[in-house]
Structure 1
Amino acid sequence: MTVFPQLAYRPSAAAIDAAVAKLTAEDPAFRVSRQPLNGGQILAFDQLPANLAAWFDLAVPFADQDFLVFEDERLSFAETRAVADRAAAMMQDRFAVAKGDRVMLGLRNFPEWIIAYMAAVTLGAIVVPFNAWWRAGEAGFALDDCTPRLAIVDGERWAAWGDELTARRIAAVVVRAPAVGPAHAWTAEMAAAPEAPRPVTVGHDDDATILYTSGSTGTPKGAVSTQRAVLSVLKCWAAYFGALRGLTEAAMAAAGTPPPSDPVASLQTVPLFHVTGCNALFLMCFPIGRKLVLMPKWEVAEARRLIAAERITHFVGVPTQSHELLSAPGLADHDLSSLVDIGGGGAARPASHVADLLGAFPNAAPALGYGLTETNALGCVTNGPDYAARPASTGRPTPPTSEISIRDNAFAALPPGAVGEICLRNPANMRGYWNRPEATQAALVDGWFRSGDLGYLDDDGFLFIVDRAKDIIVRGGENIAAQEVENCLYRHPGVAEAAVFGLPDIRLGEIVAAVIHPAAGARLDGASLRSHAEVHLSHFKIPARIWFSAAPLPRTASEKIDKRAVRALYSEHRENADKGGGI
């Protein structure tokens, strides 16, 4: 068995649980109790910061330290807060943004994304991050759903979505590009704004965010989180990772090994519009004074350069990114010795990658988290020796407030080892879906969020995910509703039947595949169908494999297309995809 020296000082999950339990028992600031939230009795913190603006205040001790790094730009924590205050005043004074109004963010990973988020939640407005890869039609659907008062967009998004915004008379401020037509320029609006906004009273139960997630119905649903929910996940992680770091450094000290000397710094590789990018990376910087180096798009060579130049200590990305970090040519060209943690989430990491990462980065330990948009990314976490021993597991519930239960079709709890639906209960869960009361009622039961994922807990409480009950494909960390892709394909007049499903892929986790039964007399090929789909769908939703079946697709007893049978049949014949001849 291979021995990895960086695991020698890492605590077990049981040790972390014990340390967190001690913290919650002895420190009133971290005390937890059962509280009535989201229709259930939820284990929640007795004390939280007053609101997210108060969370930002936790960085006051690090005021002069670098916070945001983007290309040749650097902002300290104090400078970022001052710019965010002016942005809040700009929203309030120039665009009449008030408490409860929605502010849409449509940008790459630019500093203005973070500044606009801080500004909006300070006012009690609701931040609505849009997926920057959406096409105009996808953005238009979400605009109609959330009806924002103001949109903050970059030049690419204004070019792609400007007509949608203009048609709905939504004010737009464009960053890092000239303002064209009715759009306003960020620099000009900021220059004309007061230094700080008028005070607004914002509490725990005020809504903070709406994050859109692909659902099995094919249209995105907006998961609404309160300020309490966002603060709860941040404080839970603060307790957990504080215990992890404290135990690790204590073990190193006992062995006479000095702790890492580099200040904490993270590389923002994943989009800020995802909960991992927003919550786990951006918002977790404030209590520990962590530097955040922004990448507007993923490029492995640039990631390695930034890790070396900025002495990045914590890398968090979807598993495809960490695998590329170690496997792409040129690994030895940069000094990556500053890395101490290589985290992942958003998709499953192949078990073999865990040992690969341990071998490639001798100072770093891989980690993996499991959570969903609806839970603000809170759920399970695994790292260190437990992850090495159980690389197929996503870990144990994150203490002290995350609970996991496996339920059957009647919503009865199942014993260890039994496969059922993974349900999550914690104070970070969304309060519901925006404008979707029926979907909310179906998803939240007695405070439990029904994930749609299938899995089991082992005897030690480690979670293993085995399948998805929902018809969702996860490609490189992006959730894709199979029905949305099918609906797009059905808009082509030559398509009589379509079945869309995910195929395993070593790099992306899954890729999108489709089987088509053409309409009578239609002549179809993969290229023409992809061209059709590209008009309506984001690039990551376009099928990478397409088969054509001369016969109608197999059906279930209820006359629905038998997706499982189709996937089982065609996934064994990848070499025949896109050839138009079936199998």
Structure 2
Amino acid sequence: MTGPGGPFELETLEGFERFRGHPRTLEGFYRVAMSRGAARLIQIDNHPYSHDAVFARAAAMAAQLRRRGIAQGDAVGLALTAGIAWAAYFIAVTSIGAVAVLVNTRGSADEMVHSIRSMDCRAVLADAERTATLLAEPAFDASLLIPAADMTAPVAGDPAPLDFASRDPADPAIVLFTSGTTGRPKPVRIDHGALTHTIVLAGLVAAMQDRHYEADFGVVVPPERASAQAATLITSPVFHFSGVMPFLRGLYFGAPLFILGRWSVDAVFNLMEREPVSRLGFVPAMLEDMLASPRVSEANLGSLLLLANGASSLDTGLANRLRVRFGTVMLANTYGQTESAAWGTSICGQDYIDHPTSAGYILPTMEMRIVLPDGSDADEGQPGEVWLRSPSLMREYVGHPEATAETIQSGWLRTGDVGRTDADGRLFIVDRLRNMIISGGENVYCAEVERVMADHPAVAEVIAYGLPDSRLGERVAVTVVLKPGAQADAEALTAHARQRLAGYKIPRTIEIRSHPLPRTSTFKIDRGRFTAERTPE
């Protein structure tokens, strides 16, 4: 696929492997999509929207933005949930050369205003709920607000076609924000060249996954069900790559998109009973919901080929349950960051079932190092910081030059993740570099402790952390939430840990609480909020 004449042929350009013949700005993507005319692009509930309809709305909105004085390079906030308005505004903003700032619509008013002000946005496009939230915040400049148009109304008159601003691959395209699990989210600038590269890479990964499916199940995937072109359900928020990626991949490669504004297991099953959805992105919490639903059956999963994980690794218990319940559905996992435009490594199929804690193999056009504190490369199996290099890396943390210089070094992205590789090149993420407890001079990774504690049958959620200790420096502590109806005390949990962890890794403080741990919009445990809850003012 990547060889001469292949659909993803590679060439070396500007020191990187890149995809030959594919556009390097969003204008090229949009021109490909516009050529599909009346074909369905997006469906929301029972309302289909063709490519023509979406781009007609985008053209009208682009003209509105230009009348407002928005010019090339200006930042425009998008404070809308996934839907036809978001899609049309995203196209409109980026087509005129402005920068789409993807605001966390699940955040508080203060968080949204902080994001808007950090990017010095010239305008903010908001839906009704976010409009009310922002206007109620005294720190928000109401003159920036452009309420979202009524997307059900026909476009008035005969709108002018999109008038694309001339752009370079190095021009900024979008800004997303880090998950902010340990502090204020930082704005991540992704340029046109990086964004288009990562979307083409998404198409290649989908094609590779289809080949693995054929090998694992002994069938041929028909063209209409191929992952890059088949119906795709977007369940993730569109202020993260997990939502933006399937939108742009579908736009470029021709996959009809079904959008859920918020995760609902019943809404997923309702859709899958009506439409031949082939691909579903998930985090493990979503799969737990699906497995627990009485509606899970072959009838409403029959069209599904792929479940793609892009968050935390699967524990072995969940992997085994999935193998039983989703026998003809292939599982896949990817590892990456906002700063790497989502990609890094990937694994799928039986290989993933056999190695459910693996993040997979380095992808084409990407390079990876496992780096020790002294800057040398780690040996096989030796943990070190994961460094990535590719054409899709972020340009900068906007307004944070010191953080940018610390994170991007000689063209390499320091991920802040600790990982190791096995003899076959699979990557295993050990923990975040900052989530390390030093207890009695020994390094203890929180993720390892959390995985062990999560294996206890009574535990629903767990977070590990260090507490000050006069003798050890820090002692290992965990807070757990038990499953409904389950029982376990600190003594039982300690006994469980003692069988599986070295002595210095065993939690010395175990807190059992009745309410869920705080989570981010992408279902990750929010360490920052958790720490704030435990720390007195």
Contact 1:88 1:196 in 2 (8 A): no
> Which residue in the other structure is 2:242 paired with?
276
Q: Is the 8 A contact 1:101 1:148 kept in 2?
A: yes
Once the two structures are TM-superposed, the CA of residue 417 in structure 1 deviates from its matched residue by 0.9
Whether 1:453 aligns to 2:417 is: yes
Q: Contact 1:454–1:469 (CA<8 Å) still a contact in 2?
A: yes
Structure 1 504/132 Cα, relative in aligned 2: closer, same or farther at 3 Å?
Answer: farther
The reply on whether 1:104 has 2:104 as its aligned counterpart is no
Question: How much does 1:427 deviate?
Answer: 0.7
Deviation per CA, 1:11-64: give whole Å up to 9, x if none. Answer: xxxxxxxxx4xx23444972232624xxxxx43345541411211233356433
Q: More deviation in 300-309 or 315-324? A: 315-324
Deviations 1:286-313 (A, max 9, x none): 3332111111111111111111211211
Tell me by how many angstroms 1:385 deviates.
Answer: 2.1
Establish whether residue 387 from structure 1 lines up as the match of residue 324 from structure 2: no
Q: Does 1:311 align with 2:311?
A: no
Does the aligned pair in 2 maintain the 1:89–1:193 contact within 8 Å?
no
CA separation of 1:411 and 1:273: change in aligned 2, threshold 3 A: same
1:342 aligns with 2:307: yes
Residue 442 in structure 1 maps to residue 416 in structure 2: no
What's 1:523 paired with? Answer: none
Residue 171 in structure 1 maps to residue 165 in structure 2: no
Residue by residue over 1:477-531, the C-alpha shift from the partner in whole angstroms, topping out at 9 and shown as x without a partner, is: xxxxx9xxxxxxxxxxxxxxxxxx999668999666899xxxxxxxxxxxxxxxx
Cα distance change on mapping 1:50 and 1:218 into 2, 3 Å:
closer
Q: C-alpha displacement at 1:353, in angstroms?
A: 2.3
Alignment pair present for 1:575 and 2:512: yes
Q: Supply the distance in 1 between the matched residues of 2:417 and 2:509 (Cα, whole angstroms).
A: 24
Whether 1:264 and 2:237 are equivalent positions in the alignment is no
Judge which range, 255-264 or 139-148, deviates more.
255-264
The Cα offsets for residues 404-428 of structure 1, whole Å up to 9 and x where unpaired, read as: 2100112221122110111111111
Instruction: Indicate the RMSD between aligned Cα atoms, in angstroms.
Output: 3.6
Give the Å deviation of 1:74.
0.9
Asked if 1:321 corresponds to 2:286, the answer is: yes
* Structure 1 contact 86–193 (Cα < 8 Å) conserved: no
Letter in 2 for 1:154: D
Equivalences for residues 400-411 of structure 1 within 5 A: 401-411=365-375
1:159 is matched with: 132
Show the counterpart of 2:14.
35
Amino acid at match of 1:264: A
* Amino acid of the structure 1 residue aligned with 2:47: E
Structure 1 residues 306 and 556: CA distance shift in structure 2, 3 A: farther
Decide which moves more: 84-93 or 288-297: 84-93
The reply on whether 1:363 has 2:300 as its aligned counterpart is no
In 1, the alpha carbon distance for the partners of 2:161 and 2:137 equals: 31
1-structure distance, mates of 2:475, 2:94: 43
Is the partner of 2:417 in helix, strand or coil? Answer: strand
Is the aligned partner of 1:374 residue 2:339? yes
- Using the alignment, how far apart are the partners of 1:100 and 1:129 within structure 2? 15
Does structure 1 retain, via aligned residues, the 8 Å contact 2:95–2:163? no
Distance 1:137 1:513, change over 3 A: farther
Provide the secondary structure at the position in 1 that maps to 2:469.
coil
Q: Compared with structure 1, are the counterparts of its residues 446 and 189 closer, same or farther at alpha carbon in structure 2 (3 Å cutoff)?
A: farther
**C-alpha separation in 1, matches of 2:216 and 2:302:** 20
The equivalent of 2:62 in structure 1 is: 88
Contact 2:408–2:414, Cα closer than 8 Å, also in 1: yes
Structure 1 residue 141: deviation in Å? 1.6
Distance 1:572 1:131 in 2: 35
Matched residue, 2:200: 235
- Aligned-partner residue type, residue 39 of structure 2: Q
Preserved CA contact (<8 Å) 2:209 2:348: no
> 2:80–2:125: 8 Å Cα contact kept in structure 1?
yes
Q: Give the structure 2 partner of residue 554 of structure 1.
A: 469
Q: Is the 8 A contact 1:349 1:509 kept in 2?
A: no
Task: After superposition, give the CA deviation of every residue in 1:68-126 in whole Å (9 maximum; x if it has no partner).
Answer: 11112210122222222222122112x21111111111122222111111111111111
* In structure 2, C-alpha distance between the alignment counterparts of 1:504 and 1:55, rounded to whole Å: 46
Output the amino acid matched with 2:378.
L
Return closer, same or farther for 1:189/1:97 CA change in 2, 3 Å cut-off: farther
Quick check: 1:66–1:74 contact (8 Å CA) kept in 2? yes
User: Size of the alignment, in residue pairs?
Assistant: 476
**Which amino acid in 2 is paired with 1:276?**
S
Letter in 1 for 2:11: V
Specify whether residues 386 and 28 from structure 1 end up closer, same or farther in structure 2 by C-alpha distance, changes over 3 A only.
Answer: closer
Q: TM-score, normalised by structure 2?
A: 0.79
Amino acid across the alignment from 1:376: A
Q: Secondary structure at the match of 1:574?
A: strand
Shift of the 29–462 alpha-carbon distance from structure 1 to 2, 3 Å rule, reads closer
Q: Is the 8 A contact 2:126 2:146 kept in 1?
A: yes
**Closer, same or farther in 2 for the Cα pair 1:188/1:313, shift >3 Å?**
closer
Given candidates 348, 356, 376, the residue that maps to 1:412 is: 376
Change (3 A) 1:258 1:196: closer
Say whether residues 1:298 and 2:263 are aligned partners.
yes
Partners of 1:376 and 1:571 lie apart in 2 by: 39
Find the partner of 1:132 among 85, 99, 105: 105
Name whichever of 155-164 and 123-132 sits farther off: 155-164
Read off the aligned partner of 2:373 and give its amino acid letter.
N
**TM-aligned CA deviation for residue 175 of structure 1:** 3.1
**Which is further off, 190-199 or 62-71?**
190-199
Distance 1:169 1:69 in 2: 32
- Deviation per CA, 1:304-348, whole angstroms, max 9, x where unpaired? 111121121101122211232223232139522000001111222
Aligned to 1:464: 428
* AA of the residue aligned to 1:396: Y
Structure 1 counterpart SS, 2:252: coil
Q: In the alignment, which of 169, 186, 190 is matched to residue 221 of structure 1?
A: 186
390-399 vs 56-65, which deviates more?
56-65
CA contact (8 A) 2:337 2:343 kept: yes
Alignment partner of 1:284: what SS? helix
**Runs of at least 5 residues in structure 2 that lack an aligned partner in the other structure:** 437-445, 480-504, 516-532
Q: 1-side partners of 2:363 and 2:476: how far apart?
A: 33
Kindly tell me: are residues 391 and 576 of structure 1, through their superposed partners in 2, closer, same or farther at Cα, counting changes over 3 Å?
Answer: closer
Deviates more, 1:193-202 or 1:427-436: 193-202
Change (3 A) 1:556 1:142: farther
Identity %: 26
Q: 1:321 to 1:29 in 2, by over 3 A?
A: closer
Amino acid paired to 1:135: S
